[in-house]
Amino acid sequence: MLLLPSCYPLQVIILKVLLVYNIYIILMNKDQGYWKENISLIIKCLVIWFVVSYGFGIILVDSLNTIRLGGYKLGFWFSQQGSIYIFVTLIFYYAFKMNEIDQKYGTTKDQQ
C-alpha cells in the first residue's frame, strides 16, 4: 500500500488492472474460442466420416445387409455409394460452418 504513488488512489489502480486483465481474457477467449470451435467442428465431421465408412461400410456391413434399400443391401450401399455422398456433404458442411466461424471471430480479413 505504501509503495503506491499517492496521486493514484487504490481503486483506480485496481480498475486499471482489471481492465487490462479483462481485455487480455477477452482476446485470449476470442482466439481460443476460434480454435475450440474449429476443432470441435473437425471432430464432429470426422466422427461422421468414420461412422459411415468404417462403421457402416466395413464393421457393421453384415448386419446392415439384412436391411434393403430398393435393390441394394444397405451395408453394400454404404460402402459403394452412400459413404461417398456423405463425404461430399461433409466437406461442404465444414466449409460452410468454418465461414460462419471465420465471420464470427473476424478472421476473414487477414487471410486475403
Partner 1 sequence: MDLQTLTFLIVGATFAIYIGIAFWARARNTNEFYIAGGDIHPVANGMATAADWMSAASFISMAGMIAFLGYGGSVFLMGWTGGYVLLALLLAPYLRKHGSFTVPEFISDRYYSKTARVVAVVCLIIASVTYVIGQMKGIGVAFSRFLEVDYDQGLMVGMTIVFIYAVMGGMKGITYTQIAQYVIMIIAYTIPAIFISFMLTGNPIPQFGLGGTLEDGSYLLDKLDQIITDLGFKEYTTNARLSLFNMFFYTLSLMIGTAGLPHVIMRFFTVPSVKAARSSAGWALVFIAILYTTAPAVAAMARLNLITTIDQPEQEQNLAYKDRPSWFRNWEKTG
Residue ranges binding partner 1 (CB under 8 A): 42, 45-46, 49, 53-54, 57-59, 61-62, 65, 69-73, 76-77, 79-81, 83-85, 87-88, 90-92, 94-95, 98-99, 102, 108, 111-112
User: Of the two residues 7 and 109, which places its CB atom closer to partner 1 in the complex?
Assistant: 109
Q: Using the minimum distance from each CB to partner 1, give the nearer residue, 29 or 108.
A: 108
Please give the Cα distance from 57 to 64 (Å, whole number): 9
Least distance (Å) from partner 1 to the CB of residue 17? 35
DSSP output for 45-103: HHHHHHIIIIIIIIITHHHHTTSEETTEEHHHHIIIIIHHHHHHHHHHHHHHHHHHHHH
